[in-house]
Amino acid sequence: MTDSPSDASGLAADLSGPLADPRDHDPVFPFHKGGKIEVRPTVRVRDRAGLSLAYTPGVARISEAIAADPELAYRYTWKANTVLIVTDGTAVLGLGDIGPLAALPVMEGKSLLIKEFGGVDAIPMCLDTKDTDEIVDTVVRMAPGFGGIILEDISAPRCFEIETRLQDRLDVPVFHDDQHGTAIVVLAALLNAARVTGRALSDLRVVISGAGAAGVAITDMLLEAGIGDLAVADSRAIVSADRTDLTDVKADLAQRTNRAGLSGSLNEALVGADVFIGVSAGQVPDDVVAAMAPGAIVFALANPHPEVHPDVARRTAAVVATGRSDYPNQINNVLAFPGLFRGALDARATRITPGMKLAAAEAISRVVGDDLAPDYVVPSVFDTRVAAEVSRAVEAAARADGVARA
Amino acid sequence: MTDSPSDASGLAADLSGPLADPRDHDPVFPFHKGGKIEVRPTVRVRDRAGLSLAYTPGVARISEAIAADPELAYRYTWKANTVLIVTDGTAVLGLGDIGPLAALPVMEGKSLLIKEFGGVDAIPMCLDTKDTDEIVDTVVRMAPGFGGIILEDISAPRCFEIETRLQDRLDVPVFHDDQHGTAIVVLAALLNAARVTGRALSDLRVVISGAGAAGVAITDMLLEAGIGDLAVADSRAIVSADRTDLTDVKADLAQRTNRAGLSGSLNEALVGADVFIGVSAGQVPDDVVAAMAPGAIVFALANPHPEVHPDVARRTAAVVATGRSDYPNQINNVLAFPGLFRGALDARATRITPGMKLAAAEAISRVVGDDLAPDYVVPSVFDTRVAAEVSRAVEAAARADGVARA
């Protein structure tokens, strides 16, 4: 209802009056009052002639045209620029299974960011079911009016199956951001970390802590990008073919990783490793980080508490990145998803291919350019070149991969 | 993405260039290009501090608060002001079953109007299923993040069951606009038509043509308002208890209507009737209209072709209304749903009661005030007093009926 959005850097919330609340001492609460997004007309209806164009009888001609040729929906409705952000509230930030309603503020935040940085309209959709079949069926039924589906904060391993089944049934991109968004930005940072330390990806030995959504997607992406060797640890040990306690997803992971045949603990695997990527809640002792190879690369992405404190890691590692905004090299999905969906929608892509994700990662790393330094392997999330570069690269990759329809 | 919405009364669409299209000779098509609504941030994120408030880590505190107290979602998300507009595309305008995607332009139009006139955010949701159980389950799963559900253009008789079952399962208003929106405006017009012709509702004998969604809802509403006698005709004959071909819904209708025990055709029933309300695609011959009681009231609402031409009806009837914007007395749902939902959301109503609908109808009729005349029994849809009056009356009725939660 407001024409002048309130400003995060100049809060002016009214803390007095009948709505005063103990929470108002925390600037986060007044900032979120009334939510963070709205739906607005893009056309104005001021008289009967306008009403006849926007609504009956005029709109019937648009509906008839789309009924005759469904592709026209991309031209005469909001579909071409609008995506659903779907969650079941089972893996929200670091909070876990807090339910669909409590996930809504996060989905609104995502909607805000994808509009702000990518110009994409996004609808939060917080589903009151955790059942895989129900989620898939529900999203398929909702899909006609949307140009893409972003899955968000859905716990593993259901997230893998849900994404795969939805993409099989829909002809618009289905993208689980906790997997691929994170993986894209990790690869972007790793490309630059390798460059600044003078090494090739193919020479790196990588250890990933965490075999959930992000861990699996990072693994896939790094293998796709030609990483040398890679092992994944879950909360018990290194994922290896000789373990008998693996889920299907992890057993599959064991087939594709751990070329060196490591077994045992994460800490053992880290001795002499070139790269540590933490996407778990666990901690890594200081001396284990120190036992990594010279010029080590440490991405400690657990939030809000990185697996190792960045100041400590920086004593022995050459490059350190975290998920935090108050340290250098913030690995933030915001670098990826707005430009990625901008590009995918512009190409009217039917899916997000590995090539499109790779193109996004390379575009993010390219923006750093000649400013590359150990403390600057990823651009700032406020660097407006990022979304523009990513969308261009993703759109081109969609065409190259033959999934573009526009 | 635009700050200055294009204007229906001053179309300036670019008809040249690569997007030129044969449809561009019709002003409706350029008007709808890119759709009619967008999602926009209401807060601005310009720096890391803003990002930390709007998204991680700040947003986690909002999510935790809502997880602990779900009612806080009404304060710290868009839920309090946002509704879903749900259709399956089976009964779109006069076009029938054109499917969910072809219904999207109409739902966008509805969203535009409810924001413009009621300040309510509304999300078009065009479902790819016609199965009653699937529609109900899908809407229940989508519901957590929304303050209300508007059902739209769902064919009878499924629309009755879908609405009832959804309202039973949800604690937010569920409202099938084709039924109740139409009924509210019809009653508003009838209140004034009775007044301008000097009669009481309880003295009127009414014949309704059409036993679909609108016909059933108008019947319920007029009975609630204390109409004297009322009979309904479907495409075959007057609905009466002695018919053996009635659906459950019509059999129920037969129990509540036709006190006079009429049978036979619509035209027979109209002889001597005070009021004709047409919500069908049928036609009524001129001489039948002339055979109604002196001072007859004719609401010929079929669109775009009224059951009797208003110029013809006006020769013998005292008051004539249609659904058309180019004749006096336009019966348009836009008079009802924006103010109704504004009031229901402001009261945080758990449902729309008969009292709230009655209050809405009375509020609409009140706006006409002393300007009442045979050709002015309902206000203009552009009369800004309407939504304000309706919302105030509906909010008060919600409190009086004990369904308000705010």
Backbone angles phi, psi at A217, to 5 degrees: -70, -40
* Residue A324 CB coordination number (10 Å): 22
Rounded-to-integer distance, Cα B40 and Cα B22, Å: 32
**Least confident stretch, A10-14, A73-77, B14-18:** A10-14
Give the nearest chain B residue to A79 (CA atoms): B35
Size of interface A-B (CB pairs under 8 A): 389
Q: B240 with B256: CB under 8 angstroms?
A: no
The pairing of strands B6-7 and A43-44 is parallel
Which of B92, B128, B325 is facing A51, going by the closest CB pair? B325
Q: How far is A61 from chain B (nearest CA, A)?
A: 8
pLDDT value at position B124? 98
Percentage above 90 pLDDT, chain A: 89
How does pLDDT run across B53-106, given as a tens digit for each residue? Answer: 999 889 999 999 999 999 999 999 999 999 999 999 999 988 999 999 999 999
DSSP category for residue B156: T
Q: What pLDDT is recorded for position A304? A: 80
Per-residue pLDDT at A23: 73
What's the pLDDT at A308? 97
**Encoded amino acid at A250, one letter:** K
Helix residue ranges per DSSP H, B234-301: 248-256, 266-270, 286-290
How far does B229 lie from chain A, in Å, by closest CA? 32
Range B206-221 average pLDDT: 96
How far is the C-alpha of B75 from the C-alpha of A112, rounded, in Å?
Answer: 18
**Which band of pLDDT confidence, cut at 50, 70 and 90, is reported for residue A17?**
very low
pLDDT value for A8: 43
**Measured between CB atoms, does B106 come within 8 Å of chain A?**
yes
Report the chain B residue with the minimal C-alpha distance to residue A140.
B128
Q: Which residues of A touch B54 (CB under 8 A)?
A: 8, 31-32, 36, 109, 112-113
pLDDT-based confidence at residue A9 (cuts at 50, 70, 90): very low
DSSP A319-357: EEEES-TTSSSB--GGGTHHHHHHHHHHTT-SS--HHHH
Query: Of the given ranges (A398-402, B302-306, B331-335), which has the lowest mean pLDDT?
Result: B302-306
Beta-strand relationship, B148-151 and B82-87: parallel
pLDDT at site A20:
54
**ipTM for the whole predicted complex goes beyond 0.90:** yes
Give B384's contacts in chain A (Cβ within 8 Å): none
Q: pLDDT grade, residue B213 (50/70/90)?
A: very high
A100: enclosing H helix or E strand:
helix A100-118
Burial status of residue B86 (CB atoms within 10 A of its CB: 0-12, 13-18, 19 or more)? buried
B141 and A124 in contact by Cβ < 8 A?
A: no
| Active site annotation includes A55 | yes
Instruction: Decide the pairing of beta strands A37-41 and B37-41.
Output: antiparallel
- Arithmetic mean of pLDDT, B276-287: 94
What pLDDT is stored for residue B23 in this prediction? 73
Q: What is the mean pLDDT of residues A42-61?
A: 92
pLDDT value at residue B303: 82
What average pLDDT does the segment B120-127 reach?
98
Name the residue in chain A with its Cα closest to that of B305. A57
A384 touches chain B (CB under 8 A): no
Quick check: B27 contacting A, CB < 8 Å? yes
> For position A24, what pLDDT does the model report?
67
- Is A110 catalytic? The answer is yes
Query: pLDDT band at residue B390, thresholds of 50, 70 and 90?
Result: very high
From B370's Cα to the closest Cα of chain A, the distance in A is 24
Confidence of residue A380 (pLDDT cuts 50, 70, 90): very high
Q: Among B334, B397, B405, which residue's Cα sits nearest to residue B148?
A: B405
**What average pLDDT does this structure show over A260-280?**
96
pLDDT per residue as tens digits for the range B7-26: 444 333 343 444 556 576 88
Quick one: which H or E segment has residue A297? strand A297-300
One-character DSSP codes across A205-243? EEEEE--SHHHHHHHHHHHHTT-SEEEEE-SSSB--TT-
Examine the pLDDT at B4 and tell me if it is beyond 50: no
Closest CA to B280 of B233, B313, B314: B233
Instruction: Report the chain A residue with the minimal C-alpha distance to residue B21.
Output: A75
Q: What is the pLDDT of residue A22?
A: 57
Tokens at B309, concatenated:
């031409």
Q: How far is CA B230 from CA B298, B360, B361, in A?
A: 14, 22, 19
Nearest C-alpha neighbor of B152 from the set B198, B103, B201, B112: B103
Q: What is the pLDDT of residue B281?
A: 83
CA A132, CA B268: separation in Å to the nearest integer?
A: 57
Residue with tokens 């490793």: A273
pLDDT of residue A25: 81
pLDDT of residue B371: 97
Please answer yes or no on whether B98 and A40 come within 8 Å at the CB atom: no
Residue B277: strand pairing partners: B208, B299
Mean pLDDT, chain A, whole residue set: 93
- Please give the pLDDT value at position B323: 93
- A169 has which bridge partners? none
Flag whether pLDDT at A21 surpasses 90.
no
pLDDT in tens, B144-177: 999 999 999 999 999 999 999 999 999 999 999 9
pLDDT at B393 over 70: yes
Distance between CA B267 and CA B237 in Å, rounded? 9
CB contacts of B94 in chain A (<8 Å) are: 60
Confidence of residue B354 (pLDDT cuts 50, 70, 90): very high
